[in-house]
Amino acid sequence: MTATPRAIELLQLAARAADSKQAEDLVALDVSEPLALTDIFLLASGRNERNVIAIAGEIEDKMIEAGVKPLRREGRSEGRWVLLDFGDIVVHVFHDEDRQFYSLERLWSDCPAIALELETTSQEA
């Protein structure tokens, strides 16, 4: 089983929202094979608590604008690890230190990565 086209569409929307708030190290994993509850995990890092909260807020706003409400949200008040569950996609926004500590990429390393379509900046010269 692989992630549905709708889940991939939502992933791209969430990833662009995260990128617009300077999220770092965006990684998407297709977890549809081992998990029946969701298709995709999107992992992102923020530099500090304020940045983590801003990233999570932007993702949630853009998803709601697209007609997708979160089923569950956790950790927003602390700003260390915010989990946003949209059903087909679960977004994890971490503070850098927490992401390294919990290392979800290592735990789900057998799941294939999904390419992200982000706006490219003109930093390349």
CATH number for position 17: 3.30.460.10
> Mean per-residue pLDDT for 12-25?
97
Rg over CA atoms, the chain: 14
**Number of structural domains the chain divides into:** 1
Give the percent of the chain with pLDDT over 70. 94
Residue 11 lies in a domain: yes
By the 10 Å C-beta count (0-12 exposed, 13-18 middle, 19+ buried), 121 is classed as exposed
CA neighbor of 63 nearest in space, from 87, 27, 29: 87
pLDDT digits (tens, 9 = 90+) for 62-99: 999 999 999 999 998 899 999 999 999 999 999 999 99
Q: Give the up-direction half-sphere exposure of residue 18: CA atoms within 13 A in the CB hemisphere.
A: 29
Model-level pTM? 0.91
- Between the alpha carbon of residue 41 and those of residues 13, 99, 122, the distances in Å are 13, 14, 28
Residue 122 lies in a domain: no
